[in-house]
Amino acid sequence: MRDTLWNLFRSTLPALSGLALLGFTGCASWQAPALPDENILRERAVSETSNGVTVRGTVLSVDDNTRYFGKKLNEQDIQTVWIEVVNDSSHTLWLLTSGTDPDYFSPLEVAWPFHRKFSDKSNDRIDQHFDDLGFKSPIPPGATRSGFLYTNPHHKTRVLNIDLLGQQTLYPFTLFPQVPGELDVEHMSRLYAILEQARQHNIEDEDSLRDRLEQLPCCASSGSEGPQGDPINLVMIGDLHDIASAVVRRGYRHDLLLTDRLQLYNGRLPDLVMRKSGQGGSTANWIRAWLAPFTYQDQPVLIGQVGRPIGGRYLDSETADLVLHPDIDETRNLTITDMMYSGGLSKLGFVAGIPPVTSTYLREHSDTLAYYTDGLRAVVFVITRPLSLSDVDILDWVPLLNRREEAARQQLFREKGDEQGAD
């Protein structure tokens, strides 16, 4: 028996040794993938030029990531973006990476999952590879810099903010490169057609704009025979690049869920749906928006809904049934402050348009209503950054603050009256 076992061991020893050597070699060695062909990336890139600075950007495909970084990168939920900056200005420029993605991944952070056990030299080479390919600041006058940014995923169309800081000057860029494999040509063509038709009904003055916004339907619909949809409580006016840049800077990302398909305006689904994620990736606030059938001073007008689900950031991320939180004014006002801090808000106003509903009335008629509101929709005008909070012009359409001050005074008066009655 002992001889049989020994013979079996001897016969398998070469194979076991080979496997051990292979495993050790695999752990101890690492070969850098091929260097990127930047000419190919440059041909696919979208670009923008302003004040002597040109920025190009493109989103890498799955094949690109595998070719330049290794297959494992596609498993890390990272979207790799290639950018190039041509600095023909007189200033040295620095890329503000957090402006592109507040939760961006550093090159060494991305390299970590590629590390091998018991292989410090290989790990050093892996770190060096990812670091070499990362975008490097500064960009001196007359220089061109290119490299990769490792960001959180955007789907279909990437809203790519590139903020370059010079001497007392900010060079903001917003690019819209397509995500490979996710291009919805039909949807984009439909939006361009809607916008082109809207330009035939251009509004020039603020008074006419206010009248038109007050005449908008109170709410979306959920189909010809379905119940009334959520209220229209937000209007955004400005270049689509600037609007997209503003909301993305405040943490909103493209995200269309089943519940969004229940909200229709003029018989069509929302043209834009963006969400701000909360705890564990759960939904916090959402913005659903449609292109209006008119423009203002040749600028697109987006009419929309802002809301949040009951449970907010503590809602289970897997929950598909997102029930609207009844206090829609709170979410509307939070969205206003988001737009203020985005650095792109130039004007703010309020118009009537939704029948006011008190929280008391809601409690008494909860079978027919799902929200309470002061009845106002916010109107935000967005332009190219940067703007400060003091730059925001408050339109005297419906003085929201005065109304709330008066309501607070009446509430205080009632409370004092109750106290005197009790005495």
102-111, 151-160, 344-353: least confident range: 151-160
Decide which of 116 and 283 is more confident. 116
Q: Say if residues 346 and 381 touch (Cβ distance below 8 Å).
A: yes
pLDDT of residue 188: 74
Farthest CA pair distance, the chain: 105
Query: Which residues sit opposite 19 in a β-bridge?
Result: none
Q: What percent of the chain has pLDDT over 90?
A: 50
pLDDT at 22 over 50: no
Query: Which residues sit opposite 379 in a β-bridge?
Result: 235, 349
**Which two tokens mark 93?**
């420029």
CA geometry: angle 276, 281, 287, nearest 5 deg? 20
pLDDT of residue 20: 38
CA dist 333 and 322 (Å) reads: 20
| pLDDT tens digit sequence for 297-321 | 999 999 999 998 887 767 665 554 6
Tell me which residue of 160, 171, 175 sits closest to 101, measured CA to CA.
160
Per this entry, what is the length of the chain?
423
38-175: which CATH number, 2.40.350, 2.60.40, 2.40.360, 2.20.180? 2.60.40
pLDDT of residue 278: 65
Domain ranges for the chain: 38-175, 185-413
CA dist 115 and 237 (Å) reads: 48
Cα Rg of the chain (Å, integer):
28
17-31, 72-86, 245-259: least confident range: 17-31
**Burial grade of 93 (CB within 10 A; 0-12, 13-18, 19 or more):** buried
**Burial grade of 90 (CB within 10 A; 0-12, 13-18, 19 or more):** exposed
Q: What is the mean pLDDT of the chain?
A: 84
| pLDDT tens digit sequence for 354-411 | 999 988 888 776 666 789 999 999 999 999 888 888 999 999 999 876 655 555 555 5
H helix or E strand, kind and range, residue 140: none
pLDDT at 281 over 50: yes
| pLDDT tens digit sequence for 128-150 | 999 999 999 999 999 999 999 99
CA dist 24 and 27 (Å) reads: 5
Burial 336-351 (b: 16+ CB within 10 A, else e): bebbbebbbbbbbbbb
> How many other C-beta atoms lie within 10 A of the C-beta of residue 404?
12
pLDDT of residue 195: 93
Q: How many CA atoms lie within 13 A of 356 on its CB side?
A: 6
pLDDT at 18 over 50: no
352 backbone φψ class: left, alpha, beta (φ>0; ψ -120 to 50): beta
> How many other C-beta atoms lie within 10 A of the C-beta of residue 259?
18
